Structure 1
C-alpha cells in the first residue's frame, strides 16, 4: 500500500507543476451569480425528487424492511442538507423501523445520521446524546471509522462554536484524538490520499498540489455536486487568498446546484471576500448564507452569520459614503475644470478673434503693399516708355533742326535767300505735332491695350467713343490717357496737346456728365484701368 501511495505522488507531481495557481476567480464568481438566479429551479427539482421518494415510500408495504429502509435513507439524504426538521423526522423513522425489525447495523447507521443532522444544525448537546445511544460493541471496522470521524467533527464543531480559552482547547484536543484513531482503523483510498496531500507541509523537492490542480481533479472525477462541494470546502482550509477563493467558490456553486441549504461554503466565501475587501460580493454571499440558515433551520450558522453581516454592511455603508464623497469631489473638480476650460475658451476665442483681425489687417496691408508695388512698377514702366519716347522724339527733332539749319545757312551764305526760305517753309509744325501724338498714342496703347474698351465701359451705350479706321486715340481719349499716365495738372495737359485750359475742362466735364459712375469717381475709375507689360 505504501508503494501505491508513492506511485500516486510520482504520477501526480508532473501534473501538479502543469497547473497554474493564478486561475482567475472572477469568471467563476460570474458563474455563481448566474446560479443564484436559478436557485429556485434547483429547489423545485429537489422537491420533485423528494416527492417521488415519498410516493414510492407510500406505495411500499410496511412489512418489507429493506426497500422501506432504503427509501427512508434516500429521503434522509435528500433532507439532510435541505431541511432540518424533515431530516430529523426521517432519521427517527429510520431508527424506529430498525428497532422494529431488530436490525442493529441499520440502527447504528440511523443513529449516526440523526447525530449528524443535529450537529449540522447546532444542536450539540442533542447530538452528543444521540451519539451516547449508539452501541459501540462489536462494531465493524468501517462503521467504527465512520463513528470516530463523526465524533471528531462534533468535537471540532462545538470547539469552534465555544471559541473560548479553556473548553474549546479540550474539544479540539478530543477532535484530534478521534481523527487520529479513525485514521488507524482503515487505509485511505486514492482520493483521500490525494486530498491529504493538500494538508502536508512543503519539504525539499516535494510541493503540495495547487488549488488549480484540485479544481480540475474534482471536476474530472465522477462525483455528485454535493460531494464536490463537501470536498472543495474541506480542501479550501489548506489554502489562502485566491487559491482559497477558487475552491470555496467552486463549493458554493455546487451547493446551489444540489439545492444544499445546510451549506458552509457560501459563508466561508463571504468571509474570504470580506477579507479581500470585495464587500458588495461578500454581502451577497452572507445574505444567501443567512437565507439558507433560515430555510434549513441552522441555529449556529445563523448566529455566526449575524455576527459578521453587520460588519460587512457597515463597511458597505462606508464605501457608499466614500463613493458619494468622491462623487461630490469629482463633481466639484469637474465644475472647476469646466469653469477653467470655459475661461480658457473665452480667452482663446478672444485671441483667435484678435489673430483673425490681425491677419485681416496684415492681409489688407499686404494687399495695399502689393497694390503700391504694382503702382510703383507700373509708374516705373510708364516712365521708362515715356523717357524713351522723349529722347527718341527729341533726338529726331534735333537731327531735323540740324539739317534745316545747315541747309538754310548754306543757302544764305551763297546768297540764295529764296532757297533758304523754301527750306524753312518745308518744316510743317502741325505735321510734326500729329506725328508726335501718333507716336504717343502707339506707346500708350502698347502699355494699356484695353484702355479704349475700359473707357467706354464707364460711359452710357449711346455716348461711348468709337475710333475711326486707322485712328488710334481721339482728342478726348488722349486727355484721359495723359491722366492715366499720371499727368493730372490741367495746364500741363493743355500745353502737351496744344489746347487751352478751358478746352481741357470742357472735354472732361462733358465726358463725366455722360458717365455711368458718379463724376467724382470717374478719374479714379480711369486710374484703375489695368496696365499691361508686353515687353
Structure 2
C-alpha cells in the first residue's frame, strides 16, 4: 500500500494537467486505423503459430518438458484467437500430463480447458470439467485458478440466464469464490490499485482519476492482450466519456494482439449505440460478430444477433431520414437555381464585362506597382553606392595628400630611409579589407536579412555564416554584388580582385548545392527584399 501512496504523490501534479486529454473521439480514429491494419496483426500471429507448430513436429520424440512447453505456447496463442485449435492443444496438454503422470500440470491444463469452454459459451461442458477436478491438496496458486474459473463460470451463467431468481444465486456464488481466491493468492500492488477504481467516489482517493489509471496501465510493460483486458475491466468502474475511452483502448489492444475472443468491441458497439453514433456502432457490432464466428463464441454470437437488428433498423431509419432531407434540400435547391438562372442570364454579360475590366486594371496596377518598387529600390541602391563612392574617394584622397606631404618632407631632409618606411607602412591588403568591410556594412544596412535568406537556399552543411570579426565572407560577397545589380563576372572579379574563372567556379559550386534548381538560384537572390518599401516605415 505504501508503494501506491508513493506513486500517487509522485504523479499528482502531472495527472492534474493530463486529465483533460482522455478524448475518446480521437482514440476512436486510432481504432478505425487499427481495424484497417488488423490483417497485419493476424499475419504476425499466424507466423508465430507456424513456427511453434513446426517446432512441435520436430519435438514429438523429445521428452515431456519440450512437448508440454510447445503445446502450452500454442494453446496461449490460440486461447483468445480460435477455440477449435485451442481445444486441440489443451487436449494434447491433458494427454501429455496423463501419460507422464504430472498431476499439477494435469489440473492446470484441465482448468485451461474449462476456461476456453467458458469463453465459447459451453457452460454445461465447463461445469462438467471442473466437477471432475480433484481439489484436495492443491497448491494455493492452482486452488486460486480453480476458484477464479468457477467464479467466472457462475458469473457467466448468471449473465446468460438474466433471471431475477436464479441469477442472484449465481452471482452470490461467484463473489464467494472470488473472495476465497483472493485469500489464497493475495493480489499484487498493481491489482490492488486496479481494484480501487471500483471503490465508491465518496471513499475513493481523489487522485484515482481516469487519467491516473490510463498512465498506470499504459506505462506498465505488459502484452497488448493483457492491456486490453485491464482497460476493459476498468471501463466498468467509470461512466460517460471515461467509460467509452477505456472500452476503445481495450478494443484497440485486442486488435493489435489479434484477439478474436474479445468483449471490448461488443461493449463499444453497445455504448456507441446508446450515444446515437449508429454508423460506428454498426461497424463495431459487425466486427464483433465476425470475431465471434471466427473464434466460436456461441454466447457472444447470441448477444450480438440480438443487438444487430436493433442497430441495423436504427441505421436504416437514419439513412432514410438523411435521404428525405437530401431530397427536400435538392428540390428546394432546384427551384432556387431555376430562379437564379434567369436572373443570372440577364446580368451575366454586364458582370463579365465589369470583371474583365477590373481584372485588366488590377493586372496593370500590379505591373506598375512592381515596376515602381524596382525603380525605387534601384534608386536607393544607387544613392547608397554613390554615397559610398564619394566617401571612399574622399578618404583615400586625404590619405594620399598626407602621404605626399610626409614624403616631400622627408625628401627635403634627405631621409630616404623614412620614405621607404613610410611606403612600407602602406598595407594595400588592409586597405582593401577596409574597403570590403565598408561595402559590406552599407550592403547589410540595405539588406539586413540577406545572409539568412541566402543560407536558406542551401543545405545546412553547405551554409556560409560570417566568422567572428567579419560581416560577409568572399562567397557571400559575390552574391551580394549580384543583388546590387552587378551581374557580370568580369565586373565582380575586378571589384573583389579575383580572376573571372574563380568567380565562375564559386557561383557554379554554390548553385550545385542549392535547394532550388540552378536556373532559379539567381532569381531567388534578386528576390531577397530591400530594407524598406515605398510607403513603409
Q: TM-score by structure 2 length? A: 0.62
Match of 1:114?
A: 113
The C-alpha deviation readout for 1:248-284, integer Å capped at 9, x for no partner, is 1111111111111111111111111111111111111
Alignment of 1:247-266 (within 5 A): 247-266=246-265
**Counterpart contact for 1:21–1:210, Cα < 8 Å:** no
Q: Indicate the larger mover: 222-231 or 133-142.
A: 133-142
* Pair 280,58 (structure 1): closer, same or farther in 2 beyond 3 Å: same
- Which stretches of structure 1, 4 residues or more, deviate above 6 A after TM superposition? 343-349
Query: Per-residue displacement from partner, 1:208-262 (whole Å, max 9, x unpaired)?
Result: 6333332332221111111111111111111122212211111111111111111
Rounded to whole Å, the distance in 2 between the matches of 1:309 and 1:295 is 17
Q: In structure 2, the residue corresponding to 1:136 is in which secondary structure?
A: coil
Deviations 1:414-453 (A, max 9, x none): xxxxxxxxxxxxxxxxxxxxxxxxxxxxxxxxxxxxxxxx
What do the CA deviations read for 1:335-368 (whole angstroms, capped 9, x no partner)?
344456567779999xx9xxxxxxxxxxxxxxxx
Alignment partners' CA distance in 2, 1:44 and 1:210: 37
> 1:35 Cα shift?
1.6
Please give the residue correspondences for 1:246-325 in structure 2 after superposition, counting only pairs within 5 Å. 246-325=245-324
| Contact 2:4/2:193 (<8 A) preserved | no
Between 1:80-89 and 1:139-148, the stretch displaced more is 139-148
Q: Which residue matches 2:45?
A: 46
Aligned residue in 2 for 1:199: 198
CA distance in 1, matches of 2:192, 2:13: 17
The one-character-per-residue Cα deviations of 1:281-326 (angstroms, maximum 9, x if unpaired) are: 1111111110111111111111000100111100100000000111
Aligned to 1:116, the other structure's residue is in SS state helix
Distance 2:63 2:47 in 1: 24
Checking the alignment, whether the CA contact within 8 Å between 2:196 and 2:204 is kept in structure 1 is: no
Q: Which residue of 2 aligns with 1:71?
A: 70
Aligned equivalents of 2:34 and 2:2: distance in 1? 43
Contiguous gaps of at least 5 residues in structure 2: 352-537
In the TM superposition, 1:77-88 aligns within 5 A as 77-88=76-87
Which residue is 2:240 aligned to? 241
Q: Hey, what does 2:95 align to over in structure 1?
A: 96
Task: Evaluate the alpha carbon distance shift between residue 188 and residue 301 of structure 1 in structure 2; reply closer, same or farther with a 3 A threshold.
Answer: same
Q: Deviations over 1:55-103 (max 9, x none)?
A: 1111114451112111111010001111111111111111111111111
Distance (whole Å) between structure 1 residues aligned to residue 8 and residue 22 of structure 2: 23
When normalised by structure 1's length, the TM-score is 0.62
Deviation at 1:204, TM superposition (A): 6.2
Q: Which moved more, 1:304-313 or 1:129-138?
A: 129-138
Q: Does the Cα contact within 8 Å between 1:42 and 1:256 map onto a contact in 2?
A: yes
Moved more, 84-93 or 141-150: 141-150
> Alignment length, in residue pairs?
351
1:265-414 to 2 correspondences below 5 Å: 265-338=264-337, 341=340
Is the contact made by 1:248 and 1:268 (CA closer than 8 Å) also made in structure 2?
yes
Please give the alpha-carbon distance, in whole angstroms, between the structure 2 residues aligned to 1:151 and 1:249.
28
Distance 1:193 1:204 in 2: 15
- Report the Cα distance in structure 1 between the residues aligned to 2:6 and 2:302, rounded to whole angstroms: 45
* Residue 230 in structure 1 maps to residue 224 in structure 2: no
Q: Output one character per residue of 1:355-385: Cα deviation in whole Å (capped at 9) or x when no partner.
A: xxxxxxxxxxxxxxxxxxxxxxxxxxxxxxx
Matches of 2:330 and 2:268, distance apart in 1: 36
Distance 2:293 2:33 in 1: 22
Distance 2:75 2:204 in 1: 46
Structure 1 position 15, deviation (Å): 4.6
1:18-40 CA-partner distances (Å, limit 9, x unpaired): 43145222222222212212222
* Whole-angstrom CA distance in 2 between matches of 1:61 and 1:323: 62
- CA gap of 1:14–1:130, structure 2 versus 1, over 3 A, is farther
Q: Secondary structure at the match of 1:19?
A: helix
The root-mean-square deviation of aligned C-alpha atoms, in Å, is 2.4
**In structure 1, what is the Cα distance between the partners aligned to 2:224 and 2:230?**
10
Distance 1:111 1:346 in 2: 84
Q: What does residue 472 of structure 2 align with?
A: none
Aligned to 1:164: 163
- The structure-2 alpha-carbon separation of the partners of 1:4 and 1:59, relative to structure 1 and needing over 3 Å to count, comes to same
Deviation at 1:185, TM superposition (A): 2.1
1:5 and 1:23 map into 2 onto residues whose CA distance is 22
Q: CA deviation at 1:42?
A: 1.7
CA distance in 2, matches of 1:137, 1:205: 39
What secondary structure does 2:229 align onto? helix
- Residue aligned with 2:121, SS: coil
Q: Is the 8 A contact 1:36 1:256 kept in 2?
A: yes
Say whether the 8 Å CA contact 1:252–1:266 is kept in structure 2. yes
- Cα distance, 1:208–1:161 mapped onto 2, change above 3 Å: farther
